[in-house]
Structure 1
Amino acid sequence: MPETTIPATSTEGRAIEAPRPALWGRALRILAWLSFLSETIIIGTGGAVRLTGSGLGCSDWPLCTPESLVPILEVQGIHGLIEFGNRLMTGVVGIIALAVVLLVLHTISGRRSLIRALWFALGGIVAAAVAFAIAAPLHIPASPIALGVLLLAVIAAAVHSVRTTPARRDLVLLAWITLIGVVAQALVGGITVLTGLNPFIVGFHYTSSLLLVCVTAAFLVRLYEAPGPRERAVPKWFAILTHVTGLALAVTIIFGVLTTGSGPHSGDADVLRHGFDATILAHVHSWPGYILAALVLTLTVSAWALRLPPRRWLLVLVLAILVQVGVGIWQAREGLPPLLVGIHMVLASLSAATYTVVVLHLKRRVVAKD
């Protein structure tokens, strides 16, 4: 990818001044890549929790047990360690997402915008603490309520920040969406434990994690591109077919989530599944998968024949989809071994991220005419 540039441009297209030293730009690139990698890794660690039956390795939330923040090895064993490790990874993802938001604000809008965001953060923490203090004596779930209040504060900070940022609102918005998603994911993860691994909530937890991988991929693409008006860089029929492919990808992922939730890997041996027939769902899951592979192959051939901008990323996508199909067939024939299922889950997120990059390359920046 080319060197990162964050030209400061107002929403009307006028050039404005904004602090963007090379050091900050380099740090932002590193953090953006770490955000993408950490969001991908946490899908792998979350998959490990589910595939090893460690979903209730920590019986409580936000503590691991009612008496301890960390797992007690003699009581919870390896399952507690696996679940607690995934919780620690959530903290890492959150810290990186917060750092990206703060660095974007500092780089684009300067210290004043950064200070405003920090005030919002302080207000959110205080409000969450107050909510916890009120809820705890009433014997209602204090931790989810406090985290919900914090989530509302983050959303309020994001809205204010995007509205008051004069330049690169695309980067600011994507950075905030990632942070909001991480906080929301922590809340959903807690609800997942408190509801005893409800399969629908577990499926939603995975799907939203996958979407965050796509958002961080989009942030990387926009980070390496100059701002300004954009126009379609491909024929209209190609753009339409690309979006139809996205629909096929979404349907494939949804049926994949339902299939996993109905199979042998529900996160704990005593957890009830969806109640669907996993064998039938596995076949239904494969149908849109084959359609997806055909559509991606068609797009790839067309893009290379017409030399369209997304052609290289489409080649990556077609390879990812073909590997996915191969892994899917392999795991079905081998009786769904946990390792192959985990690989399948991570590859699904990377395929979705690659598709996101393809969509973002359907347009190009409008070059000003002299």
Structure 2
Amino acid sequence: RVDTGEELRFTTNFLWMCQGYYRHDQGYTPEWPDMEKFKGEIVHPQTWPEDLDYKGKRVIVIGSGATAATLVPAIAGDCEHVTLLQRSPTYFIPGRNENELADRLRQLQIDESWIHEITRKEILHNQDEFTRRSFEEPEAVRKELLDAVKLFLPEDFVEKHFTPKYRPWRQRIAFVPDGDIFQGIASGKASVETDEIERFTEKGILLKSGKELEADIIITATGFHLSVLGDIEFSKDGEPIDFADTVTYRGMMFTGVPNMVWVFGYFRASWTLRVDLMGDFVCRLLNHMGSHQAKSVTVEIPEKDKDMKLLPWIDPENFNPGYLMRSMHLLPKRGDKYEWQHTQDYWREKDELPAIDLDGDEFVYA
């Protein structure tokens, strides 16, 4: 127990790991030179102080992802000025914060349950189509994304500050409701610097270009630490388990580890879509074990797949955000056959996971 230090022991027949995938107690902040010299306050959004007063203050937000894009317009109205400082740009999707199809169906007085099902299917279809196009016609998708930002900001500004070097969907793409961050920049309440940090100073940050940014508060929206299975030290029969030595079965079970499923969702679609599919799978698996009077189930690579190539958890050419790249050495391996990897493909898995043959060679019951 955290409050008393008392050690408690629980026993279970089956372990379902649903703890998420990042460490909740501490965000990721790089170690920049001379951070201790800064006279102001340094804050990570994950541990935001309740008493932080940024009204009338000069604020620097370091980062280029969804947190930074959400934070800047949220505080810009109260700050003297807020500067978004990024090492490299990311892609954004500005759009209206509403669903036109749902609104139109409501005007037609369609039943709400129908509206939910239709709009849900359309959103999922559009996400899948966008992902497919980002691989098959990346330049066209890139142009569409940048053209949307150019509706708010000058072309040369977009070229300098909002044109990433990588193809779309190698990292997450943030939705910007009504282009709020771009409107804040256009109004002058916010500004952008694309540069690298040389070091911190008493007054703020010195950039490698030689420019110094002064600030009262520096917010490091620089990501999080990946938590692999809750950072728990697992052991089997007294021997520690190193998950990096295991191979994942569909991103949810691991070779040699009995009676455990790890909930890991999607990056390019709603996380909970996969949680839903896995909930059904776990129920089916437990019922199958019960009907066969099995106490244990473990996945193992069958003989026909023994010679398959083992690879990192995810292909960095496919998806490579910093939090994954920093922790790849902690994650299980994937095989080059799709059953032995987390495909990130909802449209495939929604049909395949319910059809998994629980008597297949990869399942070992005891």
Name the TM-score class by shorter chain.
Answer: under 0.3
Larger-Rg structure: 2
Which structure shows the bigger proportion of residues in strand conformation?
A: 2
Q: Normalising to structure 1: TM-score of the pair?
A: 0.24
TM-score by length of 2: 0.24
> Which structure shows the bigger proportion of residues in helix conformation?
1
